[in-house]
Amino acid sequence: MEKFFKDVFLQESAIYTLWGTKPVTKIDIHYHLPTDPEVIAFYAEMSEEDKKNAIIFDHYDLPQNWEKWEKIRERFPIRQFLFFKQADLEDPKFASIYFVNIKHTISTLQDNYQLFQQETGCNFNPSKEVFEMEKRTSFWNKVFDNPVLVGILYGYGKENSFQFRRKYQVELSSLLEGCPSNEIAIDGLSPSYFSLPIFTSFAGGKDEVIEKFKEEREEIQKAYQGLNFLEVTLSKLMNVSQNSKFGSKEPKNRQKPNPLTV
């Protein structure tokens, strides 16, 4: 399961939701294999230039690893985070994984209550609504259809989210276009190196959101220094880690998970 956790937390930046202040991380997954006839046909119709720039996932196993995780997740009690998958109702070959920091999501909804109320037309209780996210309620459907609210929820900053809507007015997935730090995701990620969250920054100079993520990354790297990635991540998920200022005190007599059993 180590590859699964590295894919989710390092490759997809959910580690900033686990340790930092990013309220929610959404990870799109797909069940289209390179050998699927429709994928082969689509690739054949691409121009030679597009083929050169195409990204081929030869070892894409996130969907399969998610299923393995679901079979064992009950062995790891997680109370401070939500970690769930939602199927795409329009295309069964697509789905999304959501990793939610309950505390930071409630705070975000509280701090931006008037804006969320105005944009959704809903009165809501932040402390209760966060636990309804997985149920596709009317409130959350409206939130995830709104690029401003999505941007805030993903931790990209209110100004970046408003500027994005003013400039593009396109699908929510485009919030992930561009990488303000000029960093790209690479294979072989480790706790000593992982990218900043990818989003579109509209700051003319220094972006406070990017600087915050950089500071959080330094603290996260310290938390993992010289330690087992999987063990520390599972401990943090279960709130038994005290490896950095982001962590919490480990209860006495609480046995740490053995990553070899995962």
- Polymer length in residues for the chain: 262
- Report yes or no on 69 lying in a domain: no
Q: In Å, what is the CA distance from 67 to each residue of 3, 5, 12, 41?
A: 13, 13, 18, 28
Q: Which two tokens stand for residue 84?
A: 């769930």
In-domain check, residue 186: yes
Q: How many domains does the chain have?
A: 1
Please write the tens of the pLDDT for every residue from 219-235.
999 999 999 999 999 99
For residue 66, is it within any domain?
Answer: no
For the whole model, what pTM was predicted? 0.77
Helices 102-111 and 113-120 meet at what angle, rounded to 10? 80
Q: Is residue 124 one of the residues assigned to a domain?
A: yes
For residue 9, the SS3 value is helix
Instruction: Look at residue 89 and tell me if it is in a domain.
Output: no
- Look at residue 88 and tell me if it is in a domain: no
pLDDT tens-digit series, residues 61-119? 888 999 999 999 999 999 999 999 999 888 878 899 999 999 999 999 999 999 999 99
Residue 25's H or E segment, with its range, is strand 24-30
Decide if 77 is inside a domain: no
| Owning domain of residue 244 | 2-24+102-261
Three-state DSSP at 181 gives coil
Sheet holding 81-87, edge to edge: 24-30, 94-101, 81-87
